Amino acid sequence: MKNLREIAKKSVLSEAHLEEIEALILDHGNYNHEAIREEINLFCTGLCMNDYYFQTTPLKTIASHIEALKAAEILAGFRKDEPLKIDFGTETENEAIYLVDDQHHRALEIEKRIEDKYPNSRLQTYRTECKATEIGPLRMYFVSKPKYKTKKDLLEETALPLIADQLFLKNSTREARRRYQGVIEKSMGWETPLIEVSQKEETNELRIMVVTHRDSSRLFFTNVSDVINSYKLVSTRKYIEQFANGKTVYAFYLDNVKDEELIQDLIEDISLVYVVPESPLSFLFREGKLSAQETAFGVSVWSFTHQFLTEYTDEYLKLVNALKDSPELIGIIRNLKTRLAKFAYDESRVWETLVNHHKYLKKTYGLFEKNSILYSVFTILQKKSWNLNRNSAAISMSRLKGTSSLPS
C-alpha cells in the first residue's frame, strides 16, 4: 500500500489534501483503509483526470466522487463484466453523479437524461485520459442546481458576482471568471448564440464557449456532442454554467485541434444545430448518417416539398376555372385535392420518404453544395468575412449567428 506522500508526488493535490480526503472517506465507514488508499491512488494519479478538476473542486466533493467510483467498480464486479464496465449513477433532487465508460452512445444517454431531469442546472463533465488496471477511459458527470446571490431575475445585469452561481465564484480560477465575464458582456443584446474559440496552449486543448438564452434550445448540449463525434474528435471536458440574467454558457474542450478549416466547419455546425428543430431526421444525425448541414438541408427540403405538393397550382386553378359552370365537378376536384394532400402528401409521408431514402438526400445536398450558384457566392462571402488577424488573435465571423476568436 502506497503512502500518501508517494501519491502526492504524482498528484496535483498535496499530502495534506490527500490526508483530509482519506479522513472524510474513512469517517463514512463504507470501506476499509487499504481499499480507500488504493482508490485515492487510482483516482488522483491513475486516471489522469484533468488538473483543473483538482484545482477547482472542494476536497469534500472529491471524496464523494472517489467513493462513487469505488461503488461503480463494486457494482461492475457483481455483474462480472469482462473487461470491467463502469455504469453508475446517483441522483437526488438537486444534484447527481454519473460515471460511465467513454463510449459515445452511453455518454449521450447520460447527457439526454441530464437535460430532461435537471434542466437549467450546472454541469461539469470530465474524460479520464489514462487506462488504469481494468478500467478504461471514463466519462464523469457532476450535476448541481445553481445557487445565486439573489432569487430575483437580473435580466440586464452582467456583473459576475451578482449573477453567477456561488460555488462557481468560490471555486473557479480568476482566469475562468475573467473569461466568463467577457463572453457574458459580449452576448448582451444577442438573440442568436455567441460563439468564442480559443486555444488553451498549456494543455493543448481547443476551447469553444457558446452563450445562449436559457431554455432556447433544450437539446443543444447533446446535439453539440453529436457534432463533435461526427468529426471523430474527443472532448476532454465540458461545462454548463447558468446565470441569473437568463444566460447559459457552454464550454467544450477538445483535444489537440489546430486545423483552421476544421474549426470553421465545427463552429458552423454548432450554429446550425442550435437553430435546426427536432425532426424525424434528428436520429440520423445522431447516428452519424447525416451531417449537420445535410440535416438542416433535409428540414428545408421537407418544408418546400410539403408546401409544393399541397398548394393550389396553376394547373389546378385552370381546371377549376374551366369547370366553373359545373359546381358538382368542382366539388369532386376539390375533394380529390384535399384527399391527396391529406393521405398521399401529408407531412408524415414526406418525412418517411426522406428518412427511408436519406442516401439520396445526401447526394442531393452534395449537388446543391457543389453546383448552386447561390451557395458558391455565399461561400465566397463567408470566407471573406473570416478576417484572420494573427496579431489581435481574432476571427470575425459575420457568416455565423455567433462570434469567434482564436489566439495565435
Is the pLDDT at 394 greater than 60, yes or no? no
Statement to judge: residues 217 and 322 lie in one domain: no
Better-predicted residue by pLDDT, 281 or 40: 40
Domain termination residue (choose one: 233, 256, 278): 278
- Report yes or no on 404 lying in a domain: no
- Report yes or no on 48 lying in a domain: no
- Which of 227-236, 305-314, 328-337 has the weakest average pLDDT? 305-314
Q: How far apart are the first and last CA of the chain?
A: 46
- Report yes or no on 95 lying in a domain: yes
- Report yes or no on 99 lying in a domain: yes
Residue 374 confidence (pLDDT): 53
| pLDDT-based confidence at residue 397 (cuts at 50, 70, 90) | very low
User: Prior bond to 119 cis, omega within 30?
Assistant: no
Q: What is the pTM of this model?
A: 0.74
Q: Which residues of 75-112 are buried (b: 16+ CB within 10 A; e: fewer)?
A: ebeeeeeeebbbbbeeeeeebbbbbbbbebebbeebbe
Better-predicted residue by pLDDT, 288 or 312: 288
- Which of 51-65, 188-202, 247-261, 309-323 has the weakest average pLDDT? 309-323
Residue 116 confidence (pLDDT): 92
Domain termination residue (choose one: 256, 278, 300): 278
Residue 212 confidence (pLDDT): 94
pLDDT-above-90 percentage for the chain: 42
DSSP calls for 358-385: HHHHHHHHHHHHHH-HHHHHHHHHHHHH
Q: What is the mean pLDDT of residues 386-404?
A: 35
Is the pLDDT at 233 greater than 80, yes or no? yes
Q: What is the mean pLDDT of residues 272-277?
A: 80
Is the pLDDT at 236 greater than 80, yes or no? yes
pLDDT digit string, tens, across residues 262-274:
999 899 889 888 8
Statement to judge: residues 306 and 211 lie in one domain: no
| pLDDT-based confidence at residue 81 (cuts at 50, 70, 90) | low
| pLDDT-based confidence at residue 383 (cuts at 50, 70, 90) | very low
Residue 82 confidence (pLDDT): 56
Statement to judge: residues 357 and 209 lie in one domain: no
Report the helix count and the strand count for the chain, using DSSP H and E: 18, 8
- Report yes or no on 70 lying in a domain: no
C-alpha span between 383 and 369 (Å, rounded): 15
Residue 17 confidence (pLDDT): 96
| pLDDT-based confidence at residue 147 (cuts at 50, 70, 90) | very high
- Other beta carbons less than 10 A from residue 149's beta carbon: 14
Statement to judge: residues 128 and 253 lie in one domain: yes
Q: What is the mean pLDDT of residues 348-355?
A: 81
Statement to judge: residues 236 and 160 lie in one domain: yes
| pLDDT-based confidence at residue 276 (cuts at 50, 70, 90) | confident
- Report yes or no on 104 lying in a domain: yes
Statement to judge: residues 147 and 221 lie in one domain: yes
Statement to judge: residues 297 and 353 lie in one domain: yes
Residue 171 confidence (pLDDT): 92
Statement to judge: residues 145 and 230 lie in one domain: yes
**Enclosing domain of residue 312:** 285-371
Query: Across all residues in the chain, what is the average pLDDT?
Result: 82
Statement to judge: residues 85 and 200 lie in one domain: yes
Statement to judge: residues 205 and 353 lie in one domain: no
Q: Residue 111: which H helix or E strand, with range?
A: helix 104-117
Strand order in the sheet with 247-255: 87-91, 95-101, 138-144, 122-127, 235-242, 247-255, 205-213, 194-200
Is the pLDDT at 252 greater than 70, yes or no? yes
* The length of the chain, given as a count of residues: 408
Q: Which three cell numbers stand for residue 188?
A: 448582451
pLDDT digit string, tens, across residues 172-197:
999 999 999 999 999 998 888 999 99
- Tell me the one-letter amino acid at 230: S
pLDDT-above-70 percentage for the chain: 82
Q: What is the mean pLDDT of residues 355-359?
A: 87
Residue 309 confidence (pLDDT): 63
C-alpha span between 47 and 132 (Å, rounded): 6
Diameter of the chain by CA atoms?
Answer: 100
Statement to judge: residues 105 and 236 lie in one domain: yes
- Which of 71-85, 131-145, 179-193, 267-281 has the weakest average pLDDT? 71-85
Statement to judge: residues 98 and 123 lie in one domain: yes
- Report yes or no on 80 lying in a domain: yes
Beta strands in 191-317 (DSSP E): 194-200, 205-213, 235-242, 247-255
| pLDDT-based confidence at residue 36 (cuts at 50, 70, 90) | very high
C-alpha span between 90 and 243 (Å, rounded): 25
Domain count, the chain: 2
Q: Highest-confidence range of 250-259, 290-299, 313-322, by mean pLDDT? A: 250-259
Cβ(405)–Cβ(394) below 8 Å: yes
C-alpha span between 60 and 16 (Å, rounded): 13
Residue 133 confidence (pLDDT): 53
Residue 401 confidence (pLDDT): 36
User: CB burial class (10 A; 0-12, 13-18, 19+) of residue 246?
Assistant: middle
- Report yes or no on 383 lying in a domain: no
Is the pLDDT at 321 greater than 50, yes or no? yes
Residue 79 confidence (pLDDT): 60
Is the pLDDT at 352 greater than 90, yes or no? no
Residue 340 confidence (pLDDT): 67
Domain termination residue (choose one: 231, 254, 278): 278
Residue 58 confidence (pLDDT): 92
